[in-house]
Amino acid sequence: RLGSCDPLCALSDRRERAFVLALNAVAFLGYGFFPVTFFCADPSLKQWVPAWPGADAAQYWGNLAGDAAWTVEAALLMW
């Protein structure tokens, strides 16, 4: 993608970059649950987030979101 391309190609490139950025944001937030659950106790998190599912569930779903986002990103960039 080093050469110039038509406006449709440029729009597609911008959409792809925005989608990759969104996937990386999901991965960052998902993997960010681990330090939160490691350094904070469950009762203190329950005060800040009333719908807190618990440390184990937050780590599981956070890791799943991060892994899924990075898997989709890799597949998208190889395609």
The pair phi, psi for residue 4, each rounded to 5°, is -80, 155
> Which pLDDT belongs to residue 61?
95
> Which pLDDT belongs to residue 15?
86
Q: What is the model's pTM?
A: 0.75
- Tell me the pLDDT band of 24, cut-offs 50, 70 and 90: very high
What's the CA gap between 32 and 79, in Å, rounded?
A: 28
Tokens of 45: 């998190």
- Percent of the chain clearing pLDDT 70 (strictly above): 86
> Which pLDDT belongs to residue 8?
60
